[in-house]
Amino acid sequence: MEKTFTPLHLFKQPLKMYGILVCLLCLHLPHSFGQTVKLRKIAGPTTGSFIQLNQRTKYTEVKRENNVGHYSMKVRFKVAGATNNQYRGFKLNSTPSPISLSFDVQVYNDKTLVFSSNNVKVSPGAKGGYVYKASFKDANTSAKKIKVKNLKAKYNTNTRTTNSNNSQRLLIDNYYKAVTQLNGFLQKLPYLNYTDPDLLVNTQRSLHDIRQGFDKINNYHFITSLKLDQNDPAKLQQKIRRTNRLLNEGEQKFHAAEQKWHTLYYRKFVSTRQPRYLDLAIAKNKHFALPYIEKSSLALKNNRPEDALHQLDRMYNNQAVTNSSLINNATQNMYQKIFDYYVNLGKRQRHYQAQIKYYQKAQNICGRRGANIYNCDGKARALIVGARTQHYQSYLSKFNNYLQQANFRQAYTSLRAAESFQQSFGNQISDQHSVLYQRLYNRIVQKAQVQVRNQNYEQALNEVSFAEQIAQEKANVHTTNTYQEVKTSAHTNIYQQKFNRAQQAVASGDFNNAAQHLKTAHAYHQTNQQFIQNQAVKKQQLVEQYQVLLNKTVARGKGFNNQKQYSQALNDFQLGASLVNDTGAPLNTKNKVNLGLATAYTGLAINDNSNQAYQKSLDKLASAETALALVSGQQEQVNRLKIKVDQYKKEAIQRIITTRIDQAHAELKQDKLQEAMAISSGILSFTRHYNYPLTNDPTLNNKYEVLKKAIFNKECELNQKAYNQLVQKARENFDRKDFIKGWQLLEEAVGKANANKDCGIASQIAQQLKTRYKNAYQYALDWKEINQYAQSGQKTMHQKAIKLHYQVVSNYQQYNLKIFGIQKPDLQSFLENHSNVLFWTYGIIHFLDKNKDDDRDFATKLINKYIKMLPSRSNVKRLAYEMAMVDFKHDPNRLAKNQCKEAFEDYDLTSGRTYRKRVKWIKKYYCRQWNRLRKK
């Protein structure tokens, strides 16, 4: 039903018409129907409170036309009061009025619904009431009935009245919380402990918490805010006074206990003997001396003297009060105990270093503050000197023991250690070792004398050498005649033993051993001749024995040569040569030795020639020539041997060269040109080494020239074959369209032909192929360059790639490259199949910039393919920016608002779910760049 408001208007008319209008207006005055008054009760702003409202309803027939009545209706509410305005024994200040009412209105004609309006909302008017007005039409003139349902009120929680009530309720709640807290305080305060140091921390914490809670309660100002003088249901004031009195008393007790907290901890230690109380006492007062002394005593009882001293140091470092006689006596007594502890510990040690360490620690106590030990430093020094003297005597005892055992080296070591130790503390230890060096020297010489008697000459010399070392190192040790006698006797007998062994070997025919013994005796004589008795006689005997051995060796070697036992002869004459070098034998003997060597080497060389071991023969003949060069005189024998040497040398050289020429020909048959050339070069080196020019040997020279010609022919043959192979491979590569590789093979073939013109190799075929495939080769080079440009990450390189591609297309048509089976290059296919994403991006922009439909379609195709590769956000951003720059340049409506969206719609981009995000990225960055360009 239509709802309208129909106000009455009074029109001002001329005075003469006024009476008529009044009459007409009276005829049409509205008729008032039912008016009702009702008391309503609704929920207040807080839990448990209610608001009473006077509800007044009224409706009036304003006019009637065509038997249809026009009615106006009014519903009015007014706050009548509030109920239940008390809270937990306190009366609240006021109850707020609603800021609006909501309800449903229904008008009935008997039982028929004439008018309804749901969820009507009204606010208070100027006079404080809540009024709702409405108008409606109805043909029935019978009595009407108005129903108001679902009446609800809305309150403003920010109003002053509501805030006042809420804050008053909160204050009352805090009042009862404070009562509960105070009850707890009153129960706790009488039982706090002020005598046990362990519980003082809890007492301090409890007093602090109670004080904080008590101050917080006072900050509420309950007495004035809630007028507790008039109404104090839980007797808060009385509890506050009691709590304040007990709290002040507790804080005074704690302050008194806090001043002597360290003393309480110390007393707790005395009663419990728990060391932790000492640390707690120090923590409370680091100037309290007694805990340090007690900790020092405990450390010493636990065998920790260093810690005991550390505790006393802490006492003085923390400036503990030590001016009382009790503290001073306790400290002095503690230092005395630590001193005695170190002394006793040192006395129990078996090793000198350990003793000194503990005695020095005891001595270090003497200088400490507060020690005051009687004759402290004197006692410590006496202990240290005694330990050092005892240690010195231990070295001397070891010396005597080793001397009795004839272990002279260990005795000498002990004596030197004693000397070194005594010199370190010379003012404390008297010298008792100096006289013992001579005693040791004499005992060593005596032992060496016994070794000589027992024919242990080497051992005697070892002892004498040790005695010499002592005499050299110690100036107060003097050599004796016995020493000289022992040394001379030992050296003389050792030499004689070596000479006797040489004589025995000569007599038995063991010439090699005899030579070795003679060399040993000769060397020993030269080194120790000043200690050998009758050394001149003995030297003459040595020379004579050398001559005897040399004569026997030469005679036996000559016999072996006569019997053609050249190997045995060579051994003897080589031994003879070594003897000649040692003794300086006469010239005649030297000639015999060298002729014997030459004869033996020549005989062995002849045997090697017979066995075709020509190289070994040449080596031996060279040794024979060396031996003959050392012969002085006896020219006839020398010449005979030289003739024989030259004969067999020439034979060996000819056989070796002939064999190598045959080997080279064999290599050529197998096309092993390099091996044959190496053999040819080796032949020349061989002839130069043995000074045998081939020109002096026509037969060999002819064979060598034939070999050189064969090598040249084989080289030409192989080069021609290689040239043909290169040309054939080039053809095959051209057939496979590998024009670059084919061209390189042709270049190589031409080079080989030019390098071997003497062989008659012509490059005509290769040159013809180069002429034919020149343009195809250039095409392949261009494509290689295009790919290099495309693979680059630089935009300028991509530009060069596309520019060169257009040139390649032009060359393809100009030079008719189709005849080589090359397909016409296509830029779109090249771009689409390329793997470089950055090159794709440039290609996309290139085709967009051409601004043709087909080109833009291809660019869109590339974009979709690019999106499906799932590129990074930065790459997508770069592409979108460049797309926007190109499209903005070509769009005539580019400055229009939102034109970027319209331009972007021209791209038919992929719509798959997987790629949706990247399409959004492209659109976002595309429009961002477009708008930047618009602003510029």
- Return the pLDDT at 30: 47
The dihedrals phi and psi of 144, each to the nearest 5 degrees, come to: -110, 160
**Range from 132-141, 220-229, 409-418 carrying the lowest mean pLDDT:** 132-141
CA distances from 906 to 136, 560, 875, 876, 901 (A): 59, 116, 21, 18, 9
Sign of the C-alpha dihedral computed for residues 258, 260, 263 and 264 taken in this order: negative
* pLDDT higher than 80, residue 555: yes
Answer yes or no: are the C-beta atoms of 104 and 148 closer than 8 Å: yes
Q: What is the DSSP string of 499-547?
A: HHHHHHHHHHT-HHHHHHHHHHHHHHHHHHGGGSTTHHHHHHHHHHHHH
In terms of C-beta distances under 8 Å and separation of at least 24 residues, what long-range contacts does 116-119 make, across chains too? 117/3
What is the average pLDDT across 829-847?
Answer: 84
pLDDT at 209 over 90: yes
pLDDT, residue 539, reads 80
Confidence at residue 6, expressed as pLDDT on a 0 to 100 scale:
33
How big is the chain, counted in residues?
936
Give the count of beta carbons closer than 10 Å to the beta carbon of residue 855: 15
| CATH match for 35-154 among 1.10.4100, 2.60.40, 3.50.50, 3.30.530 | 2.60.40
On average, the pLDDT of the chain sits at: 83
pLDDT number for residue 29: 41
DSSP characters for 422-437?
A: HHHTTTTS---SHHHH
End-to-end Cα, the chain, rounded Å: 61
Give the dihedral of Cα atoms 779, 780, 783, 787; nearest 10 deg: -170
What DSSP character marks residue 851?
A: T
Separation CA 147–CA 145 (nearest Å): 7
C-alpha to C-alpha distance for 339 and 372, rounded to whole angstroms: 11
What average pLDDT does range 444-466 have in this prediction? Answer: 85
CB atoms under 10 Å from CB of 37, counted, come to: 10
Q: Which stretch of DSSP H or E encloses residue 56?
A: strand 50-65
CB 415 within 8 A of CB 395: yes
Q: 146-160, 427-441, 494-508, 718-732 — which one is most confidently predicted on average?
A: 718-732
Neighbours of 507 (CB within 10 A): 11
Q: Which two tokens stand for residue 819?
A: 């005849």
Taking each helix axis from N to C terminus, what angle separates 352-365 and 376-404, rounded to the nearest 10 degrees? Answer: 170
pLDDT of residue 657: 92
What's the pLDDT at 163?
Answer: 54
CATH architecture of 491-674: Alpha Horseshoe (1.25)
**Residues facing residue 50 across a β-bridge:** 43, 83
87 vs 46, 91, 92, 172, 530, CA distance in Å? 11, 6, 7, 8, 136
> What pLDDT, on a 0 to 100 scale, did the predictor assign at position 9?
38
Query: Model pTM?
Result: 0.43
Q: Give the mean pLDDT of 761-774.
A: 86
Integer angstrom CA distances of residue 18 from 26, 27, 29, 273: 12, 14, 16, 121
Considering only 139-143, 172-176, 905-909, which range has the smallest mean pLDDT? 139-143
Residues 6+ apart with CB under 8 A from 489: 452, 457, 460
CA distance 428 to 419: 13
Reduce the DSSP state of residue 467 to 3 states and report it.
helix
Question: Looking at residue 10, what is its pLDDT?
Answer: 32
Using 50, 70 and 90 to split pLDDT, how confident is the model at 35? low
pLDDT tens column, 512-522: 888 888 888 88
What is the CA 73 to chain-centroid distance, rounded? 89
pLDDT for position 670:
92
With beta carbons less than 8 A apart as the criterion, state whether 328 and 293 touch.
no
SS (H, E, C) 740-790: HHHHHHHHHHHHHHHHCHHHCCCCHHHHHHHHHCHHHHHHHHHHHHHHHHH
pLDDT surpasses 70 at 175: yes
CATH topology match: 35-154 vs 263-392: no
For residues 248 and 232, what is the distance between their CA atoms, to the nearest angstrom?
Answer: 24
Per-residue pLDDT of 868-914, as tens digits, reads 887 788 888 888 888 888 888 888 887 888 788 888 888 888 877 88
**Alpha helices per DSSP H over 119-196:** 160-188
Q: Assess whether pLDDT exceeds 70 at residue 83.
A: no
Predicted confidence at residue 3, as pLDDT, reads 37
Residue type, 767: Q
Q: What is the pLDDT of residue 321?
A: 61
Buried/exposed 409-418: b ≥16 CB within 10 Å, e otherwise: eebbebbbbb
DSSP class of residue 191 equals G
Confidence of residue 18 (pLDDT cuts 50, 70, 90): very low
Beta bridge partner(s), residue 76: 56, 131
Question: Among the listed ranges 33-42, 511-520, 641-650, which one has the minimum average pLDDT value?
Answer: 33-42
Domain 263-392 is found in CATH 3.40.1710:
no
Task: Report pLDDT for 665.
Answer: 92
Helices (H), 563-634: 566-583, 587-610, 614-629
Per domain, the residue ranges of the chain are: 35-154, 166-260, 263-392, 393-479, 491-674, 711-825, 840-935
Amino acid at residue number 913: R
User: Worst-scoring range by mean pLDDT, 148-157, 336-345, 631-640, 723-732?
Assistant: 148-157
